[in-house]
Every structure is written in C-alpha cells, then in structure tokens.
C-alpha cells in the first residue's frame, strides 16, 4: 500500500499532466486567434467565415458530443452561421441536472471538448497522412518521458522536443504532408477556449479533481506498483497532449504571421497619415 505522500503526489500529477496543457494552450490559442483577427481589421468578419468553415463545426460538434456522453440535454445547436451580428460563428446551448454528480463533472469535458476532440482528430490525421512523422514523434516522446521520470538527462528532453518539429518539416516533399498542414491550420485556429467554455469547464473542474483524488487513493490502496504504473500512463498522455497542442499553437502562429506580413503596407500607410 502506498503512503499518503505518494497518493498526493500522484493526484497532483494526474491534475497537472491533463488539465495543465489543456488550459495553458487553450488560453494561448485563444490569445493568438484574437490577435490574428484583430490584424485583419475591417476584413476580420469575412476572414472568420473563410477560416471557420471546418474548425467551427468541429468545435461545436465537440461540445455536442460531450453533452451526449455526460447526459446533458442539447437545447439548440448552430454548427456554422454566417449572418450573426455578434461575430459568434456557432454555439451549443444545453441544460443539465445540477444535483447529478456525473453531469456536473461533464461540464469540464464539455467546456474543453474543442481541445480534446481537436487533438484526437489531429492525431488520427497524423496517423493517416504522415504516419512516418507520427512514429518518429512517438519515439522522441518516449525519450522525453524518460527525462520526466528521471532516467535520462534534462538536456536530452529539450533536444528531442525541438527535434520533433525538425522532423515535421522534413516531410514537406510528401504531398499528404501538405494536406495535413492545411487541415491542421483550419482546425487549430478554432481549438480555442472561449470565455463561456472556460467558465463552464472551471465549474466542472472541481468534480474532476475529486475524481482524480479518489482514484489516487484507490490505486494507492491497491499497491505502490499499480499507483506508479497509472501515474506513468498519465505522464505519457500529458506529453502527447503537449506535443499535439504545441503543433496546434504553431499552426495558429502561422496564421498570425501571415496576417502580420500581409498588413505591413496598410499599417505603414496608417502610420504616415497619423504623423
């Protein structure tokens, strides 16, 4: 049987490995997407329609799927609307029983669904279109895992992490790589967490933390080996999340950089007029 310190340590790893990357990258993607649309200026609405044709329906379907899994009632759903005055391209309105623990837990997963489902879709696309890169990335994540678990030097973890992106661009001669790149860009821009998503997910996060805590105690009572094994699995899943979300963040940065470069002449003209 594991002691309480080991159980508490595993609980914290469960929480940080899964919740940490989701909220961190959800915030960063939201920040960059806002700056991207801001750069588009008066054309931002048209650009939102042009870039949202794939990402927005996936975003809203992700919410809807989690609603069904956790027993929430879907009241109204809009996968993609082009006549909105408030700039909202899609939404899912749902209700639940606040006395139902399972449904309250579901609020977390419903809120972060665009990131979770988006990562799953990107992983499947990677397997189908750029399988050799996926296999190479998996090998490097295994090495980073060894670093995190303390069986390899820290510098090796940084080297392997940045090497993943180097191996990604070695695939440019593969036509399917370009298909993955384009699809990834349209998906990643909408793997963000809106204020409503964050509010809903935080409301459900406390119940997820309770589940993690109870899980750590149960596994600790079963045995130290079982607790250590499941904790290691959570670490690996967290590292895979980190890999996919880092790639999604890169796709969003490409959008922002493209808008920044395109709008340089316009910003220079405006600067001259304001002098």
Looking at residue 122, its pLDDT comes to 95
Q: What is the pLDDT of residue 84?
A: 61
Mean pLDDT of the chain: 87
Query: What does pTM read for this prediction?
Result: 0.89
For residue 108, what pLDDT is reported?
92
| 162 pLDDT above the threshold of 90 | no
- In the numeric block, which tokens belong to residue 98? 């606040």
Contact (Cβ atoms closer than 8 angstroms) between residue 78 and residue 60: yes
List, for residues 202-223, the tens digit of each pLDDT value. 888 888 888 888 888 888 888 7
Pick left, alpha or beta for residue 134 (phi over 0 → left; psi -120 to 50 → alpha; otherwise beta).
alpha
Q: Is the pLDDT of residue 256 over 80?
A: yes
Would you kindly state where each structural domain of the chain is located, as residue ranges?
4-130+171-253
Count of CA atoms in the C-beta half-sphere (13 A) of 202: 9
Per residue in 19-31, pLDDT tens?
A: 989 989 988 999 9
């Amino acid at each position: 049987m594991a002691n309480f310190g080991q159980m508490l340590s595993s609980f914290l790893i469960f929480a940080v490995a899964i919740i940490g990357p989701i909220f961190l990258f959800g915030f960063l993607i939201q920040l960059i997407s806002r700056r991207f649309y801001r750069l588009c200026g008066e054309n931002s609405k048209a650009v939102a329609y042009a870039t949202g044709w794939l990402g927005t329906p996936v975003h809203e379907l992700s919410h809807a799927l989690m609603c069904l899994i956790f027993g929430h009632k879907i009241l109204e759903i809009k996968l993609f609307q082009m006549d909105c005055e408030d700039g909202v391209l899609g939404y899912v309105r749902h209700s639940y029983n606040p006395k139902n623990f399972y449904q309250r837990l579901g609020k977390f997963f419903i809120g972060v669904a665009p990131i979770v489902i988006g990562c799953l879709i990107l992983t499947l696309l990677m397997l189908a279109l750029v399988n050799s890169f996926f296999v190479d990335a998996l090998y490097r994540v295994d090495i980073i895992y060894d670093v995190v678990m303390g069986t390899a030097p820290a510098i090796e973890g940084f080297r392997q992490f940045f090497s993943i992106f180097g191996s990604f661009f070695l695939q440019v001669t593969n036509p399917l790589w370009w298909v993955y790149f384009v699809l990834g860009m349209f998906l990643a821009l909408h793997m963000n967490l809106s204020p409503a998503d964050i509010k809903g997910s935080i409301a459900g996060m406390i119940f997820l933390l309770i589940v993690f805590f109870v899980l750590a105690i149960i596994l600790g009572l079963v045995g130290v080996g079982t607790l250590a094994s499941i904790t290691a699995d959570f670490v690996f899943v967290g590292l895979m999340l980190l890999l996919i979300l880092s790639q999604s963040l890169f796709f969003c940065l490409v959008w922002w950089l493209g808008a920044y470069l395109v709008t340089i002449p316009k910003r220079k003209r405006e600067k001259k007029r304001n002098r």
